[in-house]
A and B are shown apart, each in its own frame.
Chain A
Amino acid sequence: MSDLHLPRTAIIDERIQESSTIFTLRLRFEDAAAQEVFEFSPGQFNMVTHFAAGEIPISIVNDPKDSHYFDHTIRVVGRVSEAMSKLQPGDRVGIRGPFGRGWPVEDAVGRDVLLVTGGLGCAPLVSVIRYLMKRRSQFGHLHILQGVKHSNDLIWREQYDAWAREPDVNVLLAADVVTREWHGQQGMVTELIGQLNLRHGRTIAMLCGPEVMMLAAIANLRDLGIADHQIWFSMERNMQCGIGQCGHCQIGAKYVCQDGPVFCYSELADLMGAKGF
């Protein structure tokens, strides 16, 4: 019986500073056999252990076909991520995972996909965008909507530009506060949804960001006639064990770490937005 509490050692091969507070670690398991069998899907996460600081959940952002490594893009938000920001190539961390349910990429085959992100470097959604881009022919039209507080916050700008140049890909950017160089819109990302010409019954939506933003986006999508079971989003809660055991991440009867972090709106409609859940 495997011990799901026990981390395995992984080595940092590369470290990329994405912005002042966001960095990416490219990792591989020290045990080559473990790396060989490591499989995940976009939207899943690992529990990453820093020797001195402890363990936090981090989404896996590279393509599942990359068998020799896995990438974690991390934003400094607390004591552990702060400590992790100081790690360098050659350093080691502990890894448990992958855990959770990722994005419904199988359901999205043959459909248009609307991807809405609010906030800085929403790694869970970037992972699925990259996934769809690599398998472009399997999917219909892609709408990529990205909102940030300040236009200078946007990371991976070249990537958005590159995506926008692809056929049948619509990239719309929004920022609450903008500088003169900003080519996107000023305002909230959810306001962009109304500008889209979504094909009913053909569109599946995937959202990631602060809950208030996702709730606003869900309301807009429902107004546009997108069915509840076609609206998916990634939730964030205090995930400690990753295996539906420690109890912290529950929303009602759902364990975000195990039943999610990606949920369909129809699964959480009752409690989403209810204070304290």
Chain B
Amino acid sequence: MATDKPKLAVHKFSSCDGCQLALLNLGEPLLALPGLVDIVHFAEAGPNSPDETVDISLVEGSVSTPEDIERIQQVRQNSRLLVSIGACATSGGLQALANFADRHAWMASVYTDPENIQVLDSSDPISKHVKVDLQIQGCPVNSGQVIGVLRDLLSGVAPRPEVHSVCMECKRKGVICTMVTKGVPCMGPVTLAGCGALCPAAGRGCYGCYGPAEQLNDRSITDRFEQLGLDAQAVLRRFRFIANSAAGFKTASEGLRGDSDG
């Protein structure tokens, strides 16, 4: 089908497919999307031409195998703009937890023939291997944010980045602070907004999926978590979770006393 519409590809690397699912769950905008772009590759949705040259590539997942490296370089070559989406693509994802440990020992404890598994020594964000034009954080990404970015790119406008903390989303929505009313440790104050305060709205503390806020005062929130009863290990795991290898959280966790279990 030849048109002059911009071409879009959605590529998957090491990931759970959750970000692709978030796009599929868009609802109405998903139906409008084919009117604006030619979706040439989006395996989860059907179109399957991974090698086509496109205007915009959305890339989900981290780079964790030698084959991933070759493939991401190919994707970069084929894409005018490359946008990494989600925690895996932007910071290595949950699987980057193995970066803090001996992954070969872990594999040996799980698989009978670990020598058959070809993996890199680390799970890397896309930006470690190729130039990335834009990053959209989240686990999964907020599909509304992805659509906003796509709209801006189609208009030739640089998207405006999110800069607020999750707390601001809570307060705008009237979500009651779980930390202040219940003493539940919450990463919201040091986490970038974008999710719409999903967890606090459900009465739980924020997991920090969207990565560090613009100003990350990890020492102060650590002190607070300890006052609320978390031990050093538990504090460490607040930082070392979904966005464990995002720059600020990684540095924060490496400076913590609980950093001993690998």
Contacts and interface: CB of A to CB of B under 8 A. Distances in A.
Tell whether any CB of A sits under 8 Å from a CB of B in the complex. yes
Interface of A: 52-54, 79-80, 82-83, 86
Contacts of B155: 52-53, 83
Contacts of B152: 52-53
19 contacts: A52-B152, A52-B155, A52-B156, A52-B157, A53-B152, A53-B155, A53-B157, A54-B160, A79-B157, A79-B158, A79-B159, A79-B160, A80-B157, A82-B157, A82-B158, A83-B155, A83-B156, A83-B157, A86-B156
Interface in B133-181: 152, 155-160
Nearest to A50: B157
A40 to B, nearest CB: 28
Contacts of A83: 155-157
B134 to A, nearest CB: 12
Contacts of B158: 79, 82
Which 5 A-B residue pairs are closest in the complex by CB-CB distance?
A52-B155, A79-B158, A53-B157, A83-B157, A52-B157
A244 B152 CA distance: 29
Contacts of B156: 52, 83, 86
Interface residues of B, number: 7
A83 B155 CA distance: 9
Contacts of B157: 52-53, 79-80, 82-83
B83 to A, nearest CB: 16
Contacts of B159: 79
A183 B157 CA distance: 40
A201 B22 CA distance: 69
- Of the listed residues B156, B157, B158, the one surrounded by the most CB atoms of chain A closer than 10 A to its CB is B157
A267 B158 CA distance: 37
A83 B152 CA distance: 10
B136 to A, nearest CB: 16
Nearest to A78: B158
Contacts of A52: 152, 155-157
Given A79-B157, A80-B157, A83-B156, 16 more contacts: A52-B152, A52-B155, A52-B156, A52-B157, A53-B152, A53-B155, A53-B157, A54-B160, A79-B158, A79-B159, A79-B160, A82-B157, A82-B158, A83-B155, A83-B157, A86-B156
A83 B154 CA distance: 12
A53 B160 CA distance: 9
B72 to A, nearest CB: 27
Contacts of A79: 157-160
Contacts of A54: 160
Contacts of B160: 54, 79
A200 B134 CA distance: 56
A86 to B, nearest CB: 7
A79 B161 CA distance: 11
Nearest to B161: A79
A64 to B, nearest CB: 32
Interface in B172-215: none
A53 B152 CA distance: 8
A79 B156 CA distance: 10
A82 B155 CA distance: 12
B109 to A, nearest CB: 49
Nearest to B158: A79
B169 to A, nearest CB: 19
Contacts of A53: 152, 155, 157
A80 B157 CA distance: 7
A60 B257 CA distance: 58
B149 to A, nearest CB: 12
Question: Which residue among A53, A54, A86 has the maximum number of chain B CB atoms within 10 Å of its CB?
Answer: A53
A220 B46 CA distance: 70
B50 to A, nearest CB: 30
Nearest to B154: A52
B252 to A, nearest CB: 25
A54 B160 CA distance: 10
Nearest to B160: A79
A52 B155 CA distance: 6
A191 B159 CA distance: 41
Among the interface residues A54, A79, A82, A86, which one has the most CB atoms of the partner chain B within 10 A?
A79
A238 to B, nearest CB: 12
B6 to A, nearest CB: 15
A184 B25 CA distance: 63
A149 B125 CA distance: 39
Nearest to B152: A52
B41 to A, nearest CB: 26
A92 to B, nearest CB: 15
Nearest to A52: B155
B253 to A, nearest CB: 30
A54 B159 CA distance: 11
Nearest to A54: B160
Nearest to B155: A52
A83 B160 CA distance: 13
